[in-house]
């Protein structure tokens, strides 16, 4: 089964870590892209956010959420 949730984030970001941990605990499959290491992922994230450079960016069922504050 392919991941239905995309997470764009960066290593060392506590909010990115919290988002990934939350998805894992809820057993939600997701794909993670580190925008510091992957320039293509950074460009995709910027398209999704309209240029906003804030992580994490979570895309679920076509809905884009910028930031993570818990479930």
pLDDT tens per residue across span 58-69 = 999 889 999 998
Per-residue pLDDT reduced to its tens digit, 9-38:
999 999 999 999 999 999 999 999 999 999
Give which of 38, 33, 26, 28 is closest to 8, Cα–Cα: 33
Architecture in CATH of 5-66:
3-Layer(aba) Sandwich (3.40)
Quickly tell me which residue has 């290491």 as its tokens. 37
pLDDT digits (tens, 9 = 90+) for 33-58: 999 999 999 999 999 999 999 999 99
> Is there a contact between 7 and 20 (Cβ–Cβ < 8 Å)?
yes
Length of the chain: 71
Q: Is the pTM of this model over 0.75?
A: yes
47 burial class (0-12, 13-18, 19+ CB within 10 angstroms)? exposed
**What pLDDT was estimated at residue 4?**
87
* Residue 1 confidence (pLDDT) above 70: no
Instruction: Name the token pair of 31.
Output: 């794909």
Domain ranges in the chain are: 5-66
């Amino acid at each position: 089964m392919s991941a239905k949730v995309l997470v764009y984030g960066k290593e060392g970001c506590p909010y990115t870590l919290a988002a990934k941990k939350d998805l894992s605990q809820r057993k939600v499959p997701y794909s993670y892209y580190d925008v510091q290491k992957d320039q293509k992922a950074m460009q995709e994230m910027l398209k999704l956010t309209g240029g906003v450079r804030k992580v994490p960016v979570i895309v679920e069922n076509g809905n884009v959420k910028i930031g993570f504050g818990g479930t």
